[in-house]
Amino acid sequence: MEVSLPEGGLVRGIGTDLVECERIARVYERQQDRFLKRVFTEEERAYCLGMKDPVPHLAARFAAKEAVSKCFTTGIGERVGWRSVEVVHGERGQPLVRLDEAARNFLAALRGDEILLSLSHTRSHAMACAVLVRRAS
């Protein structure tokens, strides 16, 4: 099996986030669909809710959205919203970032080409690390 990794490049930004799964569980319990539809895309909801325990998966995606917004140096807000950042899976199951049009335009304005993402979770915590990269020319 041949595995290819992204070519080297220039790091333009980095963001991390750590979330307590219990916090996400409480919000989900209280707000249900309102929370899910405000924060997660349809594909993310389908993936997470298909899991035996969706909370750690929701928490990891929540952390990913925060981490990506931090590598943009904006946080979640006007330029990068909750659903501007979507976590999808690559061919090997690796987490990938899909951006909406506004976030892609902002990425280009920052002279970035892609965002690399790593996720991890336990029953109690979820974390994400996002790196905004400009590919080497």
Q: Give the integer Cα–Cα distance in Å for 11 and 128.
A: 17
Annotated catalytic residue, options 37, 52, 57, 121: 121
**Residue 65 annotated as catalytic:** no
**Residue 121 annotated as catalytic:** yes
Annotated catalytic residue, options 37, 65, 70, 89: 70
Q: Which residues are catalytic?
A: 70, 121
